[in-house]
């Protein structure tokens, strides 16, 4: 079983608040990813990282930002939450030269 953790699992927050979604993995994987997924819908890649100090934007434009200061940690930040940010956010990781991605359980974010 993959050791990738996301906190919080559920978050309800008001418009305009700054939030940080946490993602940590204990597998030593260099690559990490953030996906946005509406319930039962396709996954949209919003950010990824090849390793420490590396961050890239994904296919879906996002107002969020990420950082990668430590290998095991890949937090996602929304400076000013809006109702349009309401979604599920999934974190994943993989080794650099392999295909398989391991997903965390997700954070379900609701912005009121």
Partner 1 sequence: QQQVKQSPQSLIVQKGGISIINCAYENTAFDYFPWYQQFPGKGPALLIAIRPDVSEKKEGRFTISFNKSAKQFSLHIMDSQPGDSATYFCAASMNSGYSTLTFGKGTMLLVSP
**Of 64 and 101, CB closest to partner 1:** 101
**Of 14 and 98, CB closest to partner 1:** 98
Residue 27 CB, nearest approach to partner 1 (Å) = 14
| Interface positions with partner 1 (CB under 8 A) | 2, 4, 33, 40-43, 45, 48, 58-59, 90, 92, 94-106
Residue 95 CB, nearest approach to partner 1 (Å) = 8
Residue 3 CB, nearest approach to partner 1 (Å) = 12
Residue 89 CB, nearest approach to partner 1 (Å) = 10
**Of 32 and 81, CB closest to partner 1:** 32
Mention every residue, 6+ apart, whose C-beta is less than 8 A from residue 60.
36, 44, 45, 46
**Of 84 and 99, CB closest to partner 1:** 99
**Which three-class secondary structure string do you get for the chain?**
CCCEEEECCEEEECCCCCEEEEEEECCCCCEEEEEEECCCCCEEEEEEECCCCCCEECCCCCCCEECCCECCECCEEECCCCHHHCEEEEEEEECCCCCCCEECCCEEEEEC
């Amino acid at each position: 079983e993959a050791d990738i953790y996301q906190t919080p699992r559920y978050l309800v927050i008001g418009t305009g608040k700054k939030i940080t979604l946490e993602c940590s993995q204990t597998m030593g994987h260099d690559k990490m990813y953030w996906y946005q997924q509406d319930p039962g819908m396709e996954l949209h890649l919003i950010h990824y990282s090849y390793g420490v100090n590396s961050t890239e934007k994904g296919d879906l434009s996002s107002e969020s930002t990420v950082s990668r200061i430590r290998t095991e940690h890949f937090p996602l930040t929304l400076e000013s939450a809006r109702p349009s940010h309401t979604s599920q956010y999934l974190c994943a990781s993989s080794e650099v030269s392999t295909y398989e991605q391991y997903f965390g359980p997700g954070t379900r974010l609701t912005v009121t």
